[in-house]
Amino acid sequence: MQEKDIYSELSSIRNLMERSTKFISLSGLSGVMAGLYAILGAVAAYCLVYTGGGLSYRAHYINEAEILSQLFFIAITVLVLSLSTGIWLTIRQAKRKGEKPWNPISKRLLVNMAIPLLSGGIFILILMYRGEYAVIAPSCLIFYGLSLISGSHYTLSDVKWLGVFEIVLGLLAALFPGYGFIFWVLGFGVLHLLYGTIMHFKYNQ
């Protein structure tokens, strides 16, 4: 057997093992779209929270119920758009690869990601209730990063590195609380755009 044939067989075996233990039908375009939604949401939030081209909080406005409700609406809209687009594109990608989008592996992926996300979501609601707004952006990034790392055991390894970068940005946002908005945009906007683009050309061609 030639060396080329051996390499081909080993690659086939590796692909079969990955398909049986990991959910590999994630769509790179879903990351791109999530990044775009986050940036658009950030632009809308900027107009509500920040003043005159600087990055100083309108502290007295953030405490107002009307501003909080608008920010919450923007966040929910970005979340719903990102999730719905991601689910649709992932299902389409799975069908193209001949896989079932809802299987034991994808269920484990969902559970492992949901635990840090739900914990982080509850923690952020507590922060909002207590008025600790400066810690919300770091918390979002850190818990999201932990969720990605937790789920990376059941999907592509690239997801782990996205999680690592999200945590690093979250820690930097905690170190420089006045610039949390910038780190939030970098984490949920720019990083998603870069990650989604790389994933699309690496796996979805």
Cβ distance 69 to 56 under 8 Å? no
Phi-psi region at 8: left, alpha or beta (left = phi > 0; alpha = psi -120 to 50): alpha
pTM value > 0.75: yes
Name the 3-class secondary structure at 147: helix
pLDDT for position 128: 83
Give the integer Cα–Cα distance in Å for 191 and 41.
15
Q: In whole angstroms, what separates CA 74 from the centre of its chain?
A: 16
Query: CA 176 to CA 178: how far, in whole Å?
Result: 6
Give the pLDDT band of residue 166 (cuts 50, 70, 90): very high
Residue-level pLDDT at 138: 92
Query: Residue 151: its pLDDT value, please?
Result: 85
Checking if the pLDDT of 167 tops 50, the result is: yes
| pLDDT tens per residue across span 18-64 | 444 565 567 778 888 989 999 999 888 888 776 544 555 444 455 56
Which residues lie below 8 Å from residue 21, measured CB to CB, with a gap of 6+?
Answer: 105, 154
pLDDT reading at 82 higher than 90: no
Closest CA to 112 of 41, 163, 178, 61: 163
139 vs 86, higher pLDDT: 139
Q: What is the dihedral sign for C-alpha 79, 82, 84, 86? A: negative
- The closest alpha carbon to 31, from 22, 23, 39, belongs to 39
Q: What is the CA radius of gyration of the chain?
A: 19
Q: What's the pLDDT band for 16 if we cut at 50, 70, 90?
A: very low
The phi, psi pair for 182, rounded to 5°, reads -65, -45
